[in-house]
Amino acid sequence: VGRGSYGRGGHVIACARDPDKSMDLLRCFQVDYVSYELVPLDVTDPGSFGDLHEHLQDLDKIKELDGVAQKIDIVFNNAGVALGRDCHLGTVDYDAWRRSFDTNVMGAVRVVETVLPHLADDATIVNVSSGLGSIGRVMNGGFN
């Protein structure tokens, strides 16, 4: 996604729970000379969204000074976990499911709500899923 954006003169804002572990991502962007930045974000921590919101507000101020009103064209939600996969009805680990739901569903909603004021009118939101969301691959009682 970042490489495609650069071809159109884009700027990538990548978010990661642990930026120190995301250095490979940064190296990928550096190879392609993409304009990028990495912002810490834990999608399960509502408090960390305040930092992202402030960061986006600061970018809006810079854009206003430059006279260029740019908006976010694409949001790529890729955070996800698969906790509690080995349980079945009768042996449900509700805490694991709650953590999975908080990451996979609520986290994606938190991201979209945070960036919503900064989205272009024709923005695209991509939410990455996994096989657990497949109707054709019934594997786990709680997810299917």
Q: What is the mean pLDDT of residues 48-77?
A: 79
pTM comes to 0.74
Residue 26 lies in a domain: yes
Q: What is the CATH number of the domain that holds 59?
A: 3.40.50.720
pLDDT at 31 exceeding the cut of 70: no
pLDDT at 5 exceeding the cut of 70: no
Question: Could you give the number of structural domains in the chain?
Answer: 1
Domain containing residue 53: 2-131
Instruction: Note the pLDDT of residue 144.
Output: 47
pLDDT at 103 exceeding the cut of 70: yes
Residue 72 lies in a domain: yes
45: tokens are: 């921590």
Residue 142 lies in a domain: no
Closest CA to 59 of 34, 75, 39: 39
Residue 60 lies in a domain: yes
Residue 137 lies in a domain: no
pLDDT at 2 exceeding the cut of 60: no
Percentage with pLDDT > 70 across the chain: 69
Residue 136 lies in a domain: no
Residue 35 lies in a domain: yes
